[in-house]
Amino acid sequence: MISADIDWSAFAVFAFFFILVSAMGFVAARWRRPKTLAHIDEWGLGGRQFGTWITWFLVGGDFYTAYTVIAVPALVYAVGAYGFFALPYTIIVYPIVFAIMPRLWAVAAKAGHVTAADVVHARYGSRPLELAVALTGVIATMPYIALQLIGMEVVIKALGLNGEIPLIVAFLILAFYTYSAGLRAPALIAFVKDIMIYIVVIVAVAIIPLKLGGYSAVFAAAQAGFQAKGSGSITLAPAQYLPYATLALGSAMAAFMYPHTLTGIFASSSGATIRKNAVLLPAYTLLLGLIALMGYMAYAAGIKPATANEVVPTLFKALFPGWFAGFAFAAIGIGALVPAAVMSIGAANLFTRNFWKAYVNPSMSASTEAKVAKTASLLVKLGALAFILLLDNSIALNLQLLGGLWILQTFPSVVFGLFTGWFTGRALFVGWAVGFFGGSFVAWTDGLKPLHTLTYDGAHYTLYVGILALVANIVVAALLSIIPGFAKQPLIKQA
């Protein structure tokens, strides 16, 4: 389990912070203590009372995941400017949040909805559509949790710990405190995680360029590296314009359809909280832009990571003393716990409300709901753990890529009903099916690549396949909504 090259100062700092947040996770059940935690609003949404600052830390900690910190620099290291699409993506996501989420929150808060599928069911009275939204949420989230584990695996390995036992231990601790404290645990831990990440990134982007001769040297080294490699560049090729823009747009529209991000929305205390956060959350995007540049710093530092995923840990080990590297690894490791916890809670809420309550036990009480959700969150996490231990990591990666396409197909069902009565439940269901299965099929035939090339009049257009599927989804739903047979099913007026 412990290899000879373990860095003890790094390990000690890492262990200290890990134990600290684990303790916080367990005492979180008593934070802003409710009368009872045996209610799904308390366990699964923290009591719907999180104000501006808690929501800022929670959504920030949950949307900008540990995997992001590992994967974005890895992609930038591998392909250059193209990997930077994460930046426009995480900028335009906030106008979208601002326009949509306060309305969604208001509908959910008024009627006591816990999940997006609850909202959809209340709006259209369609069980199939509710199940489609819920199932899509769960299966899109599972590989996402698995990716958080991969992020954690990378930093545990960088500490010099080998084998799977440290990962299993970390995950079991996470599973237990999420079980007992619900959403309060990641909300409280998010404070520590986010402050640590801010410290790490600010130090890194100030000190690393100093050591490497400034940012112009960093960009020059990266460009030279790409030229030597014969692929990648620090600006985009014209053929990459459309993929870059459609990936950014599609990802931004999908981002807040995931159960974990929506859980952060539903848990907030008001529409004003969400609007303020649409103004304040871009601070994390600034951070992400700087994190992405670590992919270029790797060229300037002359490090040779074994895999692209090891760019960030290798860079920290090469340029910083052991204790600071340990601090950075702890920040990333804890950064995996927060989203993993919220994701499992979001998936558990879906399972409880839109499967168990809908089909197994419609008359269950709020406390039974909480019980079912707690158990479901354990199972979801164990499932993700088994995924990582038993299957190849590339499967999780491919599924997560498809997950973005899948979750994007719930956008019309969840959002359109907030603004218009044009669409009917049945039409949206068929639209969802066309986007979901059609999009998956196209991605499958392209070898699980997120991009698809269309040829029109001899010209080639390469787009994010999720956007193509969404267009098909919307067109089908809009057309079917005007066919009388499909319009028969009455709309349920919003309460």
Partner 1 sequence: MQYLSTIRVLFTMFPEIKTQNLVTGRKSGVMRQNAPPQGRRMGETSMAWLLLLPFIGLLWVPFYNFETPTLFGFPFFYWYQIAWVPISSLLTYVVWRSKRWGDEA
* Least spacing, CB of residue 272 vs partner 1, in Å: 4
Site stretch for partner 1 (CB under 8 A), options 34-42, 216-224, 331-339, 425-433 = 216-224
State yes or no: residue 52 binds partner 1 (CB under 8 A): yes
Helix axis angle, 165-181 relative to 184-212, nearest 10°? 140
Region binding partner 1 by CB under 8 A among candidate stretches 23-31, 320-328, 343-351, 455-463? 23-31
| Distance (Å, whole) CA 493 – CA 495 | 6
Binders of partner 1: how many residues, by CB under 8 A?
A: 53
CB 366 → partner 1: shortest distance, Å?
Answer: 25
Strand partners, 161: 2
Which of 196, 198, 214 shows the shortest CA–CA distance to 297? 214
CB of 425 within 8 A of CB of 124? yes
Q: Which residue in the set 131, 167, 278, 338 belongs to the binding site for partner 1 (CB under 8 A)?
A: 278
Pattern 234-263, partner 1, x by CB under 8 A: xxx---xx--xx--xx--------------
Binding test (CB under 8 A) with partner 1, winner from 141, 251, 270, 424:
270
Please state the closest distance from residue 401 (CB atom) to partner 1, in A: 21
Q: Which whole-number Å values give the CA distances from 136 to 139, 218, 387, 412, in the listed order?
A: 5, 41, 18, 13
CB atoms within 10 A of CB 166: 19
Q: Which stretch binds partner 1 (CB under 8 A): 98-106, 117-125, 197-205, 404-412?
A: 98-106
Does the footprint of partner 1 cover residue 106 (CB under 8 A)?
Answer: yes
Cβ proximity to partner 1, 134 vs 288, nearer residue: 288
Nearest approach in angstroms of CB 300 to partner 1 is: 11
Q: Interface with partner 1 includes 31 (CB under 8 A)?
A: yes
Give the dihedral of Cα atoms 162, 164, 166, 168; nearest 10 deg.
170
- By CB under 8 A, which span of 50-58, 122-130, 165-173, 377-385 interacts with partner 1? 50-58
Residue 318 contacts partner 1 per CB under 8 A: no
Q: Is 79 in the site for partner 1 (CB under 8 A)?
A: no
Minimum distance, C-beta of residue 219 to partner 1, in the bound complex (Å): 6
Do residues 186 and 424 lie in contact, with contact meaning Cβ atoms separated by under 8 Å? no
Distances (CA, A) of 61 to 152, 338, 339, 369, 384: 15, 6, 7, 26, 20
Place of tokens 């998956």: 440
Query: Of residues 19, 202, 206, 286, which one binds partner 1 by CB under 8 A?
Result: 286
User: Residue 271 CB, nearest distance to partner 1 (Å)?
Assistant: 4
Q: Which stretch binds partner 1 (CB under 8 A): 86-94, 304-312, 418-426, 450-458?
A: 86-94
Q: Interface with partner 1 includes 103 (CB under 8 A)?
A: yes
**Nearest distance from residue 98's CB to partner 1, in Å?**
5
**Binding-site member from 280, 448, 451, 472 for partner 1 (CB under 8 A):** 280
Among 26, 38, 49, 99, interactor with partner 1 by CB under 8 A = 99
Cα 22–chain centre separation? 22
- Kindly write out the interface string for residues 184-203 of this chain, putting x where it contacts partner 1 by CB under 8 A and - elsewhere: ----x--x------------
289 counts as binding partner 1 under rule CB under 8 A: yes
27 lines the binding site for partner 1 (CB under 8 A): yes
Closer residue to partner 1 (CB): 214 or 421 = 214
**Nearer residue to partner 1 within complex by CB, 143 or 225:** 225
88 is an interface residue for partner 1 by CB under 8 A? yes
Applying CB under 8 A, among 2, 9, 15, 51 the residue interacting with partner 1 is: 51
HSE of 386 in the Cβ direction (CA atoms, 13 Å)?
Answer: 7
Shortest separation between residue 202's beta carbon and partner 1, angstroms: 15
Region near partner 1 per CB under 8 A, out of 35-43, 228-236, 303-311, 366-374: 228-236
Packing angle of the helix pair 259-266, 52-63 (nearest 10 deg)? 180
Binds partner 1 (CB under 8 A): choice among 121, 260, 276, 381:
276
91 binds partner 1 (CB under 8 A): yes
Summarize as ranges the residues that interact with partner 1 (CB under 8 A). 27, 30-32, 51-54, 81, 84, 87-88, 91-92, 94-95, 98-99, 102-103, 106, 188, 191, 209, 214-219, 234-236, 240-241, 244-245, 248-249, 270-272, 275-276, 278-280, 282-283, 285-286, 289, 293
